[in-house]
Chain A
Amino acid sequence: AQSVAQPEDQVNVAEGNPLTVKCTYSVSGNPYLFWYVQYPNRGLQFLLKYITGDNLVKGSYGFEAEFNKSQTSFHLKKPSALVSDSALYFCAVRGYNTDKLIFGTGTRLQVFP
């Protein structure tokens, strides 16, 4: 069965420092992976996706994610965090032979000035 795990409930980082939000997955077949961000009292916004190709995927707002097949991971990264990046981040994997997405439980990112 397809599943995704976000092992950290919260990540704290100082403004200007690099940030990483972790995601691991378990799939049957090829993995199709997504990252979303949710600001307070808002819906989710799409950041980036991995379907095939380069292991480093670039997305919106300066975010990127590294696909690692051997470690079954798809960590979200940004070289220099901003206070405005503080939000809830969700990793998701496409279900097997379906357009449904399976979401992780979310990681709250807090960037301190």
Chain B
Amino acid sequence: DVKVTQSSRYLVKRTGEKVFLECVQDMDHENMFWYRQDPGLGLRLIYFSYDVKMKEKGDIPEGYSVSREKKERFSLILESASTNQTSMYLCASSFQGYNEQFFGPGTRLTVL
């Protein structure tokens, strides 16, 4: 079974803190993705990585950065957390091509 794991299920941070969300996959997938999920808005892509050290902005990259130093690991960084970044964050991975994405369990982040 494909496993995508995320470092925390729940996280509470203060405004202005630097926040790291980590995602690890064990299926040697080339692609990795970070989404945020908000009620009524569905899933919105923050960043996409198609190879180590390669990244592409998604629909809502402002306020976020990413790092992919190893193939299995993709980190999402909130440089200075703000209350409007309170959300559910989902990581996913896939092989390149017409392939389904596999999702982690999600991290519910609350910024106070």
Residue among B31, B42, B92, B99 with the highest chain A CB neighbour number at 10 A? B42
Contact B94 A99 (CB under 8 A): yes
Contact B98 A51 (CB under 8 A): yes
Contact flags B55-91 to A (C-beta < 8 A → 1, else 0): 0001000000000000000000000000000000010
Give Cα distance in the complex from A16 to B46, angstroms: 39
Contact A44 B90 (CB under 8 A): yes
Number of interface residues of A (CB under 8 A): 21
Contact of B100 among A34, A42, A43 (CB under 8 A): A34
Contact B96 A99 (CB under 8 A): yes
Contacts A43-B103, A43-B104, A46-B100 known; A105 to B42 CB distance under 8 Å? yes
Give Cα distance in the complex from A90 to B97, angstroms: 20
Instruction: Say what secondary structure dominates the interface of chain B.
Output: strand
Give Cα distance in the complex from A44 to B2, angstroms: 13
Nearest CB in chain B: distance from A40 CB, A:
11
Give Cα distance in the complex from A36 to B100, angstroms: 10
Give Cα distance in the complex from A46 to B14, angstroms: 34
Identify the B interface with A (CB < 8 A): 4, 31, 33, 40-45, 48, 50, 58, 90, 92, 94, 96-106, 108
Contact B103 A44 (CB under 8 A): yes
Contact A99 B31 (CB under 8 A): yes
Give Cα distance in the complex from A106 to B98, angstroms: 21
Contact B101 A106 (CB under 8 A): no
Identify the A interface with B (CB < 8 A): 9, 32, 34, 36, 41-46, 49, 51, 90, 94, 99-101, 103-106
Q: List 10 A-B contacts (CB under 8 A).
A: A41-B105, A41-B108, A43-B105, A46-B100, A49-B98, A51-B98, A99-B31, A99-B48, A99-B50, A100-B45
Contact A101 B101 (CB under 8 A): yes
Chain B residues with CB under 8 A of A103: 42-44
Contact A45 B48 (CB under 8 A): no
Chain B residues with CB under 8 A of A41: 105-106, 108
Contact B41 A105 (CB under 8 A): yes
- A32 nearest CB neighbor, chain B only: B98
